Amino acid sequence: MAELMVFDLQRFALHDGPGIRTTVFLKGCPLDCIWCHNPESKKGKPQMGYLEKNCTYCGRCQKLCQYSVHRVSKRDCHKIDFSKCVQCGLCVDACPNHALKIFGKRMTSEEILQVVMKDWDFYQKSGGGLTVSGGEPMLQFYALLELLKKAKEKGLHICLDTSGQASQNQYKAVAEFVDVFLFDYKITDPEEHKRYTGVDNRLILKNLDYLCRNGSHIYLRCPIIPGINDNEQHYEGIAKLSRKYEGIEQVNLMMYHDMAKGKSVQIGEQYALPDIKTIEAEKKKLIYSKVESYGCLGLQDS
């Protein structure tokens, strides 16, 4: 029985497809977006997380750890060598204030669906269901396919949130089980795309074309990042795609927020964009107006 590496499971999600949904977040991603809102999702293996504000410097973690991961002084200092952590979880269980956690847990499709099906009545009333997100879900293709098949057998409406960076054959295999693809469109220029995500967008656009031409329903999800893709070329590119494909039913502009700064610290990493601030309401209105002025179809407030 295949297992999926899950780093979060959120019930009553309202922004990951239509209606009330349960969103399952899978670890691992083939892209390395420097603005990533979920930096704990990038690596495909479990990771230690540390929430400093909860720490009372009791030292229990240091006493238990055999690998010298923790170094704690009595008053105000807790140093963690994340590179030494083997994710055994002993320190997490011992922490009295939940300052430590492991991002990443192996779950079977049955275990996931046991949680998802608890809210069946809400899905029925709202038109919601299951959303699988990440990271990039397609990176765990075979286990993902098993989950989608079993979810569809239970009558669930399914959304798949994807970067588009996987083989076309894999998208062909999952398409019959997916009601809506939440398809990321990050940067229009291929070289700039590679600069900021680690890959160009050629395969991504090829897969978008395939899905649209083969009857899939698409919500185009467009993160807007100040100083990176908040420009005329990209706004026009979004609008052109919305007009090119009838399969693109919605365009969602995902405004940058800086929550990832704190998340990066939790897993012992430096955030690549420390000076970029959350896009506020007035700036958001201007961006929507600009994209709309290029003739964007299906533009939805998000």
Q: What is the mean pLDDT of residues 165-181?
A: 98
Q: What is the pLDDT of residue 125?
A: 97
Q: How many CB atoms lie within 10 A of CB 86?
A: 12
Q: What is the pLDDT of residue 127?
A: 97
The pTM score is: 0.95
- Out of 66-80, 112-126, 162-176, 285-299, pick the least confident: 66-80
Residue 205 burial (10 A CB sphere; 0-12, 13-18, 19+): middle
Give the percent of the chain with pLDDT over 70. 100
- Locate CATH 3.20.20.70 in the chain: 3-44+104-261+268-300
Q: Name the nearest CA neighbour of 160 among 134, 140, 139, 192.
A: 134
Residue 282 burial (10 A CB sphere; 0-12, 13-18, 19+): exposed
Could you tell me the CA-to-CA distances from 296 to 59, 166, 178, 187, 268 in Å, in that order? Answer: 56, 27, 25, 16, 40
pLDDT-based confidence at residue 177 (cuts at 50, 70, 90) = very high
Give the percent of the chain with pLDDT over 90. 96
End-to-end CA distance of the chain: 37
- Has domain 3-44+104-261+268-300 been given CATH number 3.30.1360.70? no
Q: What is the mean pLDDT of residues 30-43?
A: 96
Residue 74 has pLDDT above 80, yes or no: no
47-103, which class in CATH?
A: alpha beta
pLDDT digits (tens, 9 = 90+) for 226-252: 999 999 999 999 999 999 999 999 999
CB-CB contact of 41 with 82 (8 Å): no
Residue 249 dihedral angles phi and psi, to the nearest 5°: -90, -25
Q: What is the mean pLDDT of residues 114-120?
A: 98
Q: What is the pLDDT of residue 73?
A: 87
Q: State which amino acid sits at residue 237.
A: G
Q: What is the pLDDT of residue 114?
A: 98
Q: What is the pLDDT of residue 290?
A: 97
Residue 173 has pLDDT above 80, yes or no: yes
What mean pLDDT value characterizes the chain? 96
- Locate CATH 3.30.70.20 in the chain: 47-103
pLDDT digits (tens, 9 = 90+) for 245-277: 999 999 999 999 998 888 999 999 999 999 999
Residue 302 has pLDDT above 90, yes or no: no
Q: What is the pLDDT of residue 2?
A: 86
Chain position carrying tokens 């057998």:
153
